[in-house]
Each structure stands twice: as structure tokens, then as C-alpha cells.
């Protein structure tokens, strides 16, 4: 346990509301403990801003589970989505990561026109929901619970599908992509179904619909930098992007 | 994008990127053959001038490849511009502080490197294909060998070619691997091999193409008594 604390200089994006002009504001924060999570550090800052009656008011940031599964908490820290630690959401990032390094942090919201800033560090990620909605239904038998092993699925396919399904839709892939592309997210959502027998009936119409929606939302295209994979807290592989490209090509030459 | 009922592959970003991959592959294939052709300069003036004559005597081959290449370049450049537009408008407000983890010098060079390549292609054609006198006063149609020698004896012309080749190297270093990703043929099993292959081919083109101006400038390609 690190009993010692340290001091941080924070530069945080402050923006009153959607469409308003924002700017980076500087705050000094003392008493940061390495055991705090990144979000707890922001909580401490907010407590200070409130008790000091700071004219800027507390910093608005998104969060929910604080255990790395809901995907709400993403912000960009020193130019890196979810901060410097690989495979980790902001809420799971501990301040000890910063204890011996830079004591000056730049904290910004996800930057993509498809993710408009609502306030300070909070962005509207409903574009992702619409991409998923565009995928439509999956033909499954309803009624009584299906037999456990009625549909045999290979271990590799099952594992791969689960890897894709690990996506929590946090938007870090878009934030980190130099083109603000949503290809990693969309491809994970396409692949998790395309890899399973249950996903086959609508497989090729689904990929077209989801890509069409992705483009309508105004995300950029993929230039294969692999920045998305490098920041993804669930370490989703760009191999799903390859699969999306393949499925979309196949879907376009099929008649259905 | 229109509705999904009328989903047009070539209108989508993924489709336009596929067009870049296919046209890029065509250009890459041609550049490789072009390099092999050029290396014949080491076999002396007769050999390479005969090769030039052979191409001009086979108009179907010459014009066939010129037309295919023209289409490839146009498709490549127009897709690049269109896609660049979508990327620009996808993030109109940038980060105050940005950092990259996985992107390489090569992957970041694709766009400005592409502009360098367009400029170089025009210069190169003007100098050694069209024979624009301002770019090479001693140009003589049909004398491939001496045209090349006269050009590369001038150090700054050699320098221009070397710089362009470095950009081509970067373009192919990222681009040739990227093709497999874009066309959906990559896989975790093959990824490393595709990457190695792309780097290897890029390096081969770099070394092969650069060797010629360097050899001319160093006097390894003989000119005394051949080119006046
Ligand atoms: C004529 C000028 C050129 C321009 C403006 C240009 C531009 C570009 C751009 C912007 C990209 C996309 C990069 C990305 O999305 O990451 C690209 C990709 C590519 N370029 Fe070019 N390029 C040019 C010439 C060439 C040449 C001469 C070759 C081949 C020898 C070539 C081969 C490729 C390949 C193979 C790709 C990869 C396509 C993919 O990502 O799937 N390009 N180019
Ligand atoms: S708050 Fe849920 S993932 Fe961070």
C-alpha cells in the first residue's frame, strides 16, 4: 500500500453543453493516492471543485459499473484512449500508473463527429446503438428452452465469437483511430453473430445493414493503422475487421 | 449511403478501400515488372534499348498496360480523395494532445506519400518517357540507356529519384500488407507472413530501383564513348 500521495496538474476539456465552445482548463490536485482509480481521482477533484465553489463547477464524466464491463467511462488521457495501460478501462486504471511518470495529464472526451460532446467529458454514443439496431433480428427458435447441445458449435468458432462478443461498446476504437472509424466496433458486432450457426440466416444482409448505418453515422474509414486494437480495453483483434471486409465483399456478389 | 436495399459496395467506404487495394496491387505488380526491365541497364546499352524497342514494337502490350495503369492510377487517387474526405469530416475537432501506439511511419505516410508519388510519376514520365526538354535536354527517343545515364549523372536528379523511392518503399511497406486486410484474406495465421512479405517486396523494389541512379552516379554504369 502506498501511503504517500502526489500532486497532479490536470488539463481537462470543459464544455457547457452540446454544440457549445469548449476549452482546456487547468486544475491542480494534491493528495492523489496511487490506490485511487482514475475515476476516483476525478471524484476527488470534483469534491474539491464543489467545496471550493469553483466557478467551473464539477467535471461531468460518464461512468456506471466502475468494474470495466459497462463501457461508459472512456476518456482520452495524454492522447491515449482509456489512458496508458493496455487492456484497461479508465475505471480500472489506477493512479499508481502515473505516480512515477508524468504528473501533468491532459484529459479529453472521445473526439468524433458521430460522438458529439454532451458536456465536458461526456459524449453521446447512441450512434453505436443505432448500428446494432440496424443489424436487425436473429432467427432463433423461441418457446421452450433449447437443448444444451442441440446446435453443435466448434470450440474455435465458439471462442472466437466470444472474443468478439467481449466488446463493451465503449468507443475507444473510434477515439483512437486517426480516421475516427468505427470498424473495430462494427466488425466485432458483425462477427459475434457471423461466427455462430444462429447468425447464419441473416449473415449477409446484416453486414450490409450495419455497415450502411456505420457510414450514415459519419464515422471514418479504416486505414489499417491498428490503433483501435492497441487501445481496446477488451483487446478485440482487427481480424474481425478482416472478416467484416470479407463478408461484405461476399454479400455484395451474392444475390439474395 | 442509401438504404440497405440498394447497398452499393463501390459506394461504401469498405468498397472504395477495396478499389484502392485492387488498383494498388495492379500498380505494384507493374512496378515490379518495370524494375526488372530497368535492371537490364546493367547488361549494357544494346540490351535495354532493344527492350525499349520491343515494347514499342508491341503496341498491344505497351498500350494495353498504359491504359490499365491509367485506370488504376485514377481509381486509386479518386478513391483516396473520397475516403480522405470521410476521414476529415469524421473528426472536425481534434485532440489537443495526441499519441499513437500501433501506427507506423509507413502507415502515417500513405496520404502525403501518395502526393509525393503523384508528383514524382508526372516528373518521371516527363523526363524519361515524353522527353520534355526542360527536364532532360539531352533526351533522344529510343536511346533509353543514354537518357538514363545523362539524367542520373546530375546528382540532384538522382537525389529526387532516391527520395521518391523512399516514399514508394513506405507506401508499399504498409500498402502491400494492407491489401490482404482490406480484401479480407488476412488471418491471424497468415498475418505475420503477409507483413514480412510486404516488407520484403518493398525493400526489393527500393534496392533494385535505387541501385540504378546510384550506379550511374558512381560511374559503375559505363558511359564513356557510349553517350556523348
Ligand atoms: C499515384 C499516387 C498515389 C496516391 C495518391 C496514393 C495514395 C494512397 C492512399 C491514400 C492509400 C490509402 C492508405 C490507407 O488507407 O491507409 C493508398 C493505399 C495503397 N496504395 Fe497508393 N497511392 C499512390 C500510388 C501508389 C502506387 C504507385 C502504388 C503501387 C506501386 C500504390 C499502392 C498502394 C497499395 C497497395 C495500397 C494499399 C491499399 C489497401 O490499404 O488495401 N499506391 N495509396
Ligand atoms: S465505468 Fe463501466 S467500464 Fe468503466
What are the sequence ranges of the domains in chain B?
2-217
Best mutation target among A25, A245, A255, A256 (most B Cβ atoms within 10 Å) is A245
**% of chain B beyond a pLDDT of 90:** 93
| Ligand 1 centroid from CA B158, angstroms | 24
- Reported confidence tier of residue B62, pLDDT bands at 50, 70, 90: very high
Query: From CA A212, how far away is CA A200, in angstroms rounded?
Result: 19
- Mean pLDDT, range B49-77, rounded to an integer: 96
Query: From CA A49, how far away is CA A120, in angstroms rounded?
Result: 14
CATH class of A5-108: alpha beta
Kindly report the backbone phi and psi dihedral angles of residue B103, in degrees, each rounded to the nearest multiple of 5, phi listed first. -65, 145
Contact B89 A113 (CB under 8 A): yes
| Ligand 1 centroid from CA B73, angstroms | 9
Instruction: Considering chain A, tell me which residue range(s) the CATH 1.10.1060.10 domain(s) occupy.
Output: 125-253
* CA torsion, ordered B108, B111, B113, B117, to nearest 10 deg: 160
Which residue among B14, B15, B76, B184 is best mutated to probe the pocket of ligand 1, counting the most ligand atoms within 8 A of its Cβ? Answer: B76
The predicted structure's pLDDT at residue B100: 94
| B140 contact partners, CB below 8 Å, separation of at least 6 | B131, B146, B147
- Reported confidence tier of residue B5, pLDDT bands at 50, 70, 90: low
Q: Return the CATH number of the domain spanning residue range B2-217.
A: 1.20.1300
- Angle, alpha carbons B4-B7-B8 (nearest 5°): 165
Low-confidence spans in chain A with pLDDT less than 50:
none
Whether the CB-CB separation of B162 and B213 falls below 8 Å is answered with: yes
**Of A87, A42, A79, A86, whose CA–CA distance to A63 is shortest?**
A42
Whether the pLDDT of residue B142 is over 60: the answer is yes
* CA torsion, ordered A174, A176, A178, A183, to nearest 10 deg: -30
Residues from chain B contacting residue A172 (CB–CB below 8 Å):
none
- Mean pLDDT, range B173-191, rounded to an integer: 96
Contact B96 A209 (CB under 8 A): no
**In sequence order, what are the beta bridge partners of A108?**
A76
What distance lies between CA A176 and its chain's CA centroid?
Answer: 10
Contact A219 B96 (CB under 8 A): no
Give the number of residues written for chain B.
228
Contact A79 B181 (CB under 8 A): no
Query: From CA A185, how far away is CA A164, in angstroms rounded?
Result: 9
The predicted structure's pLDDT at residue B193: 97
Q: Is A117 in the pocket of ligand 2 (CB under 6 A)?
A: no
Whether the CB-CB separation of A179 and A111 falls below 8 Å is answered with: no
As given in the structure block, the three cell numbers for residue A196 are 455462430
Query: From CA B34, how far away is CA B4, in angstroms rounded?
Result: 42
> DSSP per residue over chain A, as a string?
----EEEEEEEEEE-SSTTS--EEEEEEEEEEETTSBHHHHHHHHHHHHHHTT-TT-PPP---S-SSSSS-----EETTEET-SSTT--GGG-BTHHHHTS-SEEEEE---BTTB-EEETTEE--HHHHHHHHHT-------SSPPPTTSS---HHHHHHHHHHHT-----HHHHH-TT-B-HHHHHHHHHHHHTSGGGSTTHHHHHHHHHHHHHHTT-B------HHHHH-TT---THHHHHHHHHHHHHHHS--
| Ligand 1 centroid from CA B107, angstroms | 10
A24 → closest Cβ in B17, B96, B104: B96
**Residue carrying the nine cell digits 500513405:** B110
The predicted structure's pLDDT at residue B3: 45
As given in the structure block, the three cell numbers for residue A121 are 467529458
**Residue carrying the nine cell digits 466488425:** A187
Give the number of residues written for chain A.
256
A236 touches chain B (CB under 8 A): no
Residues from chain A contacting residue B107 (CB–CB below 8 Å):
223-225
Instruction: Considering chain A, tell me which residue range(s) the CATH 3.10.20.30 domain(s) occupy.
Output: 5-108
Closest residue, chain A, to B2 (C-alpha):
A212
pTM of the complete model:
0.94
Contact B1 A180 (CB under 8 A): no
A78 → closest Cβ in B17, B97, B186: B97
Whether the pLDDT of residue B165 is over 90: the answer is yes
> Using the 8-state DSSP alphabet, how is residue B101 labeled?
S
Condensed to tens digits (0 to 9), the pLDDT of residues A60-71 reads 999 999 999 999
The predicted structure's pLDDT at residue B7: 80
**Of A200, A195, A207, whose CA–CA distance to A156 is shortest?**
A195
Whether the pLDDT of residue B2 is over 60: the answer is no
As to burial, measured by CB atoms within 10 angstroms (0-12 exposed, 13-18 middle, 19+ buried), residue B150 is buried
| A195 contact partners, CB below 8 Å, separation of at least 6 | A157, A160, A161, A164
Contact B177 A114 (CB under 8 A): no
* Paired sense of beta strands A76-77 and A5-14, if any: unpaired
Best mutation target among B4, B81, B88, B106 (most A Cβ atoms within 10 Å) is B4
Condensed to tens digits (0 to 9), the pLDDT of residues B185-208 reads 999 999 999 999 999 999 999 999
Contact B101 A80 (CB under 8 A): yes
The predicted structure's pLDDT at residue A63: 97
The predicted structure's pLDDT at residue A102: 80
Which SS3 state, helix, strand or coil, does residue B131 take?
Answer: coil
| Ligand 1 centroid from CA B171, angstroms | 6
Whether the CB-CB separation of B181 and A242 falls below 8 Å is answered with: yes
A26 touches chain B (CB under 8 A): no
- Mean pLDDT, range B209-225, rounded to an integer: 94
From the CA of B98, how many Å to the nearest CA of chain A?
A: 4
Q: Return the CATH number of the domain spanning residue range A125-253.
A: 1.10.1060.10
B1 → closest Cβ in A180, A215, A225: A215
Whether the pLDDT of residue B15 is over 80: the answer is yes
Whether the CB-CB separation of B119 and B167 falls below 8 Å is answered with: no
- Reported confidence tier of residue B1, pLDDT bands at 50, 70, 90: very low
As given in the structure block, the three cell numbers for residue A93 are 486504471
Whether the CB-CB separation of A173 and A228 falls below 8 Å is answered with: yes
Amino acid at each position: 500500500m502506498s501511503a504517500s500521495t502526489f500532486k497532479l496538474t490536470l488539463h481537462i476539456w470543459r464544455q457547457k453543453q452540446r454544440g457549445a465552445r469548449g476549452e482546456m482548463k487547468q486544475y491542480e490536485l494534491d493528495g492523489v493516492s496511487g490506490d485511487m482509480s482514475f475515476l476516483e481521482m476525478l471524484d476527488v477533484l470534483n469534491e474539491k471543485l464543489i467545496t471550493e465553489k469553483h466557478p467551473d463547477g464539477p467535471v461531468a464524466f460518464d461512468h456506471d459499473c466502475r468494474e470495466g464491463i459497462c463501457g461508459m467511462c472512456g476518456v482520452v488521457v495524454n492522447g491515449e484512449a482509456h489512458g496508458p495501460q493496455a487492456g484497461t478501462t479508465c475505471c480500472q486504471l489506477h493512479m499508481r500508473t502515473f505516480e512515477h511518470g508524468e504528473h501533468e495529464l491532459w484529459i479529453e472526451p472521445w473526439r468524433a463527429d458521430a460522438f458529439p460532446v454532451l458536456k465536458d467529458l461526456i459524449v453521446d454514443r447512441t450512434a453505436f446503438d443505432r448500428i446494432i439496431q440496424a443489424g436487425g433480428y436473429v432467427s432463433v427458435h423461441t418457446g421452450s428452452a433449447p437443448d444444451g447441445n442441440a446446435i453443435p458449435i466448434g470450440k474455435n468458432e465458439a471462442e472466437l465469437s466470444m472474443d468478439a462478443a467481449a466488446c463493451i461498446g465503449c468507443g475507444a476504437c473510434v477515439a483512437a483511430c486517426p480516421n475516427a472509424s468505427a470498424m473495430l466496433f462494427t466488425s466485432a458486432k458483425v462477427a459475434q453473430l457471423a461466427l455462430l450457426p444462429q447468425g447464419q440466416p441473416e449473415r449477409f444482409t446484416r453486414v450490409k445493414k450495419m455497415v450502411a448505418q456505420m457510414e450514415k453515422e459519419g464515422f471514418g474509414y479504416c486505414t489499417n493503422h491498428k490503433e483501435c486494437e492497441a487501445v481496446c480495453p477488451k483487446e478485440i483483434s482487427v481480424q474481425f475487421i478482416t472478416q467484416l471486409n470479407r463478408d461484405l465483399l461476399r454479400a455484395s456478389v451474392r444475390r439474395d | 449511403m442509401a438504404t440497405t436495399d440498394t447497398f452499393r459496395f463501390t459506394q461504401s467506404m469498405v468498397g472504395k478501400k477495396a478499389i484502392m487495394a485492387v488498383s494498388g496491387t495492379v500498380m505494384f505488380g507493374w512496378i515490379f515488372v518495370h524494375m526488372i526491365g530497368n535492371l537490364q541497364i546493367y547488361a549494357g546499352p544494346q540490351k535495354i534499348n532493344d527492350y525499349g524497342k520491343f515494347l514499342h514494337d508491341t503496341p498491344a502490350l505497351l498500350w494495353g498496360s498504359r491504359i490499365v495503369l491509367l485506370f488504376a492510377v485514377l481509381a486509386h487517387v479518386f478513391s483516396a480523395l473520397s475516403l480522405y474526405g470521410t476521414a476529415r469530416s469524421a473528426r472536425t475537432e481534434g485532440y489537443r494532445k495526441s499519441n499513437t501506439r500501433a501506427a507506423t511511419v509507413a502507415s502515417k505516410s500513405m496520404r502525403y506519400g501518395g502526393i509525393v508519388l503523384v508528383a514524382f510519376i508526372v516528373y518521371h514520365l516527363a523526363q524519361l518517357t515524353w522527353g520534355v526538354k526542360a527536364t532532360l535536354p539531352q533526351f533522344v527517343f529510343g536511346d533509353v540507356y543514354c537518357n538514363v545515364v545523362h539524367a542520373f549523372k546530375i546528382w540532384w536528379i538522382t537525389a529526387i529519384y532516391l527520395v521518391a523511392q523512399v516514399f514508394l518503399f513506405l507506401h508499399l511497406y504498409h500498402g502491400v500488407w494492407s491489401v490482404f486486410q482490406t480484401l479480407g484474406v488476412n488471418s491471424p495465421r497468415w498475418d505475420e507472413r503477409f507483413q514480412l512479405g510486404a516488407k520484403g517486396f518493398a525493400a526489393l523494389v527500393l534496392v533494385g530501383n535505387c541501385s540504378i541512379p546510384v550506379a550511374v552516379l558512381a560511374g559503375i554504369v559505363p558511359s564513356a564513348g557510349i553517350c556523348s
